[in-house]
Structure 1
Amino acid sequence: MTMLDSALGLSADALKLRAQRLDVIAGNIANASTPGYKARDLDADGALARLQAARSGGFGALMSEQLGSDLQYRSALVPSMDGNTVEMATEQAAFAENAVKYRASLGFLTSRIQTIMMALKGGE
Structure 2
Amino acid sequence: MIGKLDDYMRFNETALSLRSQRQELLASNIANADTPNYKARDIDFASALQGVLAKGTPPAGVLKQTAPAHMATGAAKGDVLANGTPVQYRTPAQGAVDGNTVDMDVERNQFADNALRYEAAVTFINMQIRGMTSAIQGGQ
- Give the TM-score normalised by the residue count of structure 2: 0.75
* Unaligned 5+ runs, structure 1: none
Is 1:120–2:136 an aligned residue pair? yes
Which has more helix, going by share of residues?
1
Equivalent pairs counted in the alignment come to 117
Provide the identity percentage. 40
Deviation of the 1:32 alpha carbon: 0.3
Aligned to 1:36: 37
**Alpha-carbon distance in 2 for matches of 1:45, 1:115:** 26
Q: Is the 8 A contact 2:29 2:41 kept in 1?
A: yes
Q: Is the 8 A contact 1:47 1:64 kept in 2?
A: no
- Give the TM-score normalised by the residue count of structure 1: 0.83
Is 1:106–2:107 an aligned residue pair? no
Equivalent of 2:89 in 63, 73, 80: 73
* Unaligned 5+ runs, structure 2: 61-82
Q: RMSD between aligned alpha carbons? A: 1.8
**Alpha-carbon distance in 1 for matches of 2:84, 2:113:** 20
Q: Please give the residue correspondences for 1:1-124 in structure 2 after superposition, counting only pairs within 5 Å.
A: 2-52=3-53, 54=54, 59-60=55-56, 62-65=57-60, 66-68=83-85, 70-124=86-140
Q: Is the 8 A contact 2:42 2:89 kept in 1?
A: yes
State the secondary structure of the residue aligned to 1:24.
Answer: helix
**Alpha-carbon distance in 1 for matches of 2:130, 2:84:** 28
